[in-house]
Amino acid sequence: MVNSCLSRLVRQQAEKYGDKVALKYRDYTTATWIPVTWNGFADLVDKTARAFVKLGVEVQENVGVFSQNKPECLYVDFGAFKDRIVTVPLYATSSEAQVHYIVEDAGIRFLFVGEQYQYDVAYRVQGLCRSLKKIIIFDPEVKRAEGDNNSIYFSDFLQMGEKEECQPEVDKRVSESSLDDLANILYTSGTTGDSKGVMLHHSNYDVAFKGHNARLTNLGENDVVMNFLPFTHIFERAWSYYCLYKGCMLCINLRPQDIQKTIKEVRPTAMCSVPRFWEKVYAGVQEKINETTGLKKSLMLDALRVGREHNITYLMNGKTPPSLLHMKYKFYEKTIYSLLKKTIGIENGNFFPTAGAAIPEKVAEFVHSVGINMIAGYGLTESTATVSCEWIGDFRLGAVGRVLDGVEVRIGENNEIQLRGGTITKGYYKKEAITQQAFTEDGWFRTGDAGYMKDGFLYLTDRIKDLFKTSNGKYIAPQAIETKLVVDRYIDQVTIIADQRKFVSALIVPEYSQVEKFAQEHHIAFGSRKELLENPQIIELFRLRIDTLQQEFAHYEQVKRFTLLPEPFSMERGELTNTLKLKRAVVARNYKDIIDKMYEENVG
């Protein structure tokens, strides 16, 4: 029997690194980053493991963690792994109904919560759940409900593990830990229907680590890694576990909206993110170029041209750049590129994994042109994150890299990407029928994503389930159009409407600050945001920009009508998942009247 490496990982790293800093988290009262050494981390994990035993948590029992990113999430995870306990993370923004469903489905007796919102939701859910026995609160500032004598604070929980009396049981469990043990159940937020609990075993992580070792060759103990995406998301979770396994320092970002501030405080060498982060960087640079004039503007445009030619035309295609071009590139590297990186907070950057959605080609081209090592990848919760990824100097625009060691990919019916290998889930928790449907008869996992292989690189084309069929019988891939439009600096969110309709239309959430700025510059008076977005000059502005961006699409794929929305899509109205993916069915329902109005008479 092979023991799980996760059950021993933190203590082994402490023996190697001692008082070197393993974690940092931001204290918002002092605006400083508090370090936690490897020794301190390991001691807290050991106390957590003993407290679990004292509490009576059984081998392979499910415990819930309902919190934003906090170091306590990692203490609970690795303490649980020592005890062969399964952790079930819940998104910090989950609604009462979502929490109730997951707690009941996973039979959770003990639920850890982060701040006041999570406690309040959990406390209300406790009254409705048969299984939930105790809430354990990370943040000492949380005010418990009147009459709640059952919930305890994390400090009280740790106190239960102070004494060594439970250590023999912890040691026994560690020695009996196995790669066959279940590690996590990750509930996918689901753009359709109920959440499904993806089961990830210790063996899945073990194979994933080995596959990444062969690809991410220069990640190590000198790297400073910013945790920006929620730990609940498999991308950040698997990446963070792997970074700890490699001896990196993790800097835990509590509030996603603070990332532009915290990234400048930490100045990380690595950070995994979604394309939206880089889209905003790209839009910001485009805005800066538009505001600049004269020689400065010429230099900025030339820097982008030189970078594109040097890194994409030549290096990406395995060619050596001419010496004059290389000299120019080196000049811009020391001036314009380095200033840009410093402004973002990534001048120490090693590489930046990016996945979770399609990366607009203009954004990828820009990022590579200025010498930022964005590593595009593709993966799912069901594949323990990475299926494929690029590497420094080994990329193709529009591709999602080469397939990782330990994963097999084949292209099935309807060009579906299908997977097999040690990182693939064994199935969905307590959902045998859905598990069976998710695999082909010969054992390959169906991703639902369409794509193809070319020259060793994997390319995605669309979500098979997301393909729209117009009433004229034409198939539309909405994500391809949305990815094209969202790079525009005036567009924040967009959703394409086409299914069973005569033509393509769009609901657009503008970048309101940019539209208001345009209105001021063009002396357009408005009393409200709604009034501004209905102004003919503003509508014409968007029409011209959309027509320019969609030129490459066939006539039947192009957006004929659009509506500018005065409010963004939101999680509160059920329009976005916890990972900010759009729930198309909910949007179609919530905006039915607006959508129907766009189709009242035929256009074009």
Q: Percentage of the chain surpassing pLDDT 70?
A: 98
Q: Record the tokens describing residue 67, joined without a space.
A: 């919190």
Could you tell me which residues are beta bridge partners of residue 113? 66, 137
Which segments of 117-192 are extended strands (E)?
A: 134-137, 152-153, 182-187
Q: How confident is the model at residue 534 (pLDDT cuts 50, 70, 90)?
A: very high
Among 129-133, 199-203, 581-585, which range has the highest average pLDDT? 199-203
Residue with tokens 């009462």: 96
Whether residue 230 contacts residue 68, with contact meaning beta carbons closer than 8 Å, is answered with: yes
Calculate helix-pair angle for 167-176, 5-17, nearest 10 degrees.
110
Instruction: Answer whether residue 190 shows pLDDT above 80.
Output: no
Instruction: Answer whether residue 570 shows pLDDT above 70.
Output: yes
Instruction: Answer whether residue 192 shows pLDDT above 70.
Output: no
pTM score of the predicted model: 0.86
Q: How confident is the model at residue 518 (pLDDT cuts 50, 70, 90)?
A: very high
Instruction: Answer whether residue 22 shows pLDDT above 90.
Output: yes
Predicted confidence at residue 466, as pLDDT, reads 72
Whether residue 269 contacts residue 225, with contact meaning beta carbons closer than 8 Å, is answered with: yes
Q: How confident is the model at residue 603 (pLDDT cuts 50, 70, 90)?
A: very low
Q: In this predicted model, what pLDDT tens digit does every residue of 261-280 receive, in sequence order?
A: 999 999 999 999 989 899 98
- DSSP calls for 45-106: HHHHHHHHHHHTPPTT-EEEEE-SS-HHHHHHHHHHHHTTPEEEEE-TT--HHHHHHHHHHH
Mean pLDDT is lowest, of 62-66, 129-133, 469-473, for 469-473
Predicted confidence at residue 194, as pLDDT, reads 65
Could you tell me which residues are beta bridge partners of residue 63? 87
Q: How confident is the model at residue 189 (pLDDT cuts 50, 70, 90)?
A: low
Task: Please give the mean pLDDT across all residues of the chain.
Answer: 93
Q: How confident is the model at residue 331 (pLDDT cuts 50, 70, 90)?
A: very high
CA distance 324 to 304: 16
Q: Record the tokens describing residue 325, joined without a space.
A: 């071009």
Predicted confidence at residue 1, as pLDDT, reads 56
Instruction: Answer whether residue 604 shows pLDDT above 50.
Output: no
Instruction: Answer whether residue 472 shows pLDDT above 80.
Output: no
Q: How many helices (H) and strands (E) does the chain have?
A: 22, 25
Q: In this predicted model, what pLDDT tens digit does every residue of 118-143 receive, in sequence order?
A: 999 999 999 999 899 999 999 999 99
Q: How confident is the model at residue 571 (pLDDT cuts 50, 70, 90)?
A: confident
Mean pLDDT within 185-207: 85
Calculate helix-pair angle for 234-245, 202-215, nearest 10 degrees.
70
Mean pLDDT within 316-326: 96
Mean pLDDT within 83-110: 94
Predicted confidence at residue 479, as pLDDT, reads 84
3-class DSSP string for 289-324: HHHCCHHHHHHHHHHHHHHHHHHHHHHHHCCCCCHH
Quick one: which of 485, 480, 407 has its CA closest to 447?
407
Domains of the chain: 5-178+230-245 (3.40.50.12780), 277-347 (no CATH), 467-598 (3.30.300.30)
Instruction: Give one word for 371, left, alpha or beta, with left for phi > 0 and alpha for psi -120 to 50.
Output: left
Q: In this predicted model, what pLDDT tens digit does every residue of 144-177 receive, in sequence order?
A: 999 999 999 999 999 999 999 999 999 999 999 9
Mean pLDDT within 281-309: 92
Whether residue 457 contacts residue 238, with contact meaning beta carbons closer than 8 Å, is answered with: no
Quick one: which of 251, 256, 204 has its CA closest to 230?
256
Q: How confident is the model at residue 193 (pLDDT cuts 50, 70, 90)?
A: low
Predicted confidence at residue 572, as pLDDT, reads 84
